[in-house]
């Protein structure tokens, strides 16, 4: 009876621990969302400026292209809209992830993340989930404005566009984790991050159809090609080939895992060098 009662007591403890972890993770997610929303609303001028600047940049491309190329730009306008939509989501996710550590270091709160019961890794992972979700919301809002501005009639299947964009942008999180780790070691790397914008443009415009098994393994490339097809030709998610879907899911999972591994190695080295709290 004593053994049975001990066994009966141990099972609820394990279940309770599992439920407590879930509740703790929910509280962490809620805290991250509350903090990010507070930053966006409290510094609303910066938020509005970011949105307006992004749209003005697209308007310059659109109206400037019309002035230079005239009617010829109509042939590539759909690709410009889709590409700029993915580019916006990519930049929001990448810079959000890469700058998390830099801002915490500037604010003097980086050490608190390491003392958190969740640890720096889990906190960064939850923040990355927010970054992806926020970037997609911003990109979708901008997409509506771009379609109104250009007068284009693209097919926007919410499920297809959301899934493809999420997996495409997730591949960029791996690069964001790498830069977040490097910022722990080298602190000021903002100028290097700015150069990544040109790399993202190249990845979005990469010819996936010509070299599907070479270019498709790069981040963003497969997702960009699938978005062009989905929004231009009206193809749904299940209408894509198994190879395309496997490539999209594979890059969307592999790159964040590899980037997170590099981030953990950078954290370990920063601790070994004693430069974690320095800025």
Q: Is 278 part of any domain?
A: no
Q: Calculate the CA 157 to chain-centre distance.
A: 20
Q: Is 148 part of any domain?
A: yes
Is residue 153 predicted with pLDDT exceeding 50?
yes
Q: Mean pLDDT check: name the lowest of 4-13, 17-26, 40-49, 199-208.
A: 4-13
Is residue 29 predicted with pLDDT exceeding 90?
no
Q: Is 86 part of any domain?
A: yes
**Per-residue pLDDT averaged across 2-14, rounded?**
41
Q: Is 128 part of any domain?
A: yes
Q: Is 13 part of any domain?
A: no
Q: Cα–Cα–Cα angle for 111, 264, 131, nearest 5°? A: 75
**Per-residue pLDDT averaged across 250-265, rounded?**
92
pTM of the model: 0.81
Average pLDDT, the chain: 81
Highest mean pLDDT among 117-121, 147-151, 155-159, 160-164: 160-164
Is residue 235 predicted with pLDDT exceeding 60?
yes
Q: Is 113 part of any domain?
A: yes
Q: Which helix (H) or strand (E) holds 11?
A: helix 2-42
Domain of 238 in residue numbering reads as 22-273
Q: Cα–Cα–Cα angle for 273, 274, 277, nearest 5°? A: 135
Q: Is 189 part of any domain?
A: yes
* Domains held by the chain: number: 1
Q: Is 5 part of any domain?
A: no
């Amino acid at each position: 009876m004593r053994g049975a009662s001990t066994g009966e007591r141990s099972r609820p403890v394990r279940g309770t621990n599992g439920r407590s972890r879930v509740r703790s993770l929910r509280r962490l997610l809620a805290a991250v969302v509350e903090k990010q929303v507070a930053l966006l609303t409290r510094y609303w001028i910066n938020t509005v400026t970011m949105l307006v600047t992004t749209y003005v940049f697209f308007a310059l491309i659109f109206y400037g292209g019309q002035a230079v190329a005239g009617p010829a730009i109509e042939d590539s306008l759909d690709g410009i809209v889709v590409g700029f939509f993915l580019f916006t989501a990519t930049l929001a996710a990448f810079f959000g992830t890469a700058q998390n550590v830099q801002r915490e270091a500037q604010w003097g709160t980086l050490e608190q993340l390491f003392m958190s019961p969740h640890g720096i890794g889990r906190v960064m992972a939850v923040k990355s989930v927010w970054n992806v979700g926020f970037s997609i919301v911003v990109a979708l809002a901008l997409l509506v404005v771009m379609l109104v501005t250009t007068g284009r009639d693209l097919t926007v299947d919410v499920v297809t566009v959301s899934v493809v964009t999420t997996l495409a942008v997730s591949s960029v999180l791996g690069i964001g984790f790498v830069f977040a780790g490097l910022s722990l070691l080298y602190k000021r790397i903002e100028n290097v991050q700015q150069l990544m914008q040109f790399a993202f443009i190249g990845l979005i415009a990469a010819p996936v159809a010509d070299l599907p098994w070479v270019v498709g393994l790069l981040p963003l490339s497969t997702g960009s090609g699938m978005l062009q097809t989905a929004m231009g030709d009206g193809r749904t998610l299940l209408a894509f080939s198994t190879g395309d879907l496997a490539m999209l899911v594979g890059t969307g999972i592999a790159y964040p895992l590899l980037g997170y591994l590099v981030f953990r190695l950078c954290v370990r080295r920063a601790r070994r060098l004693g430069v974690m709290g320095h800025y």
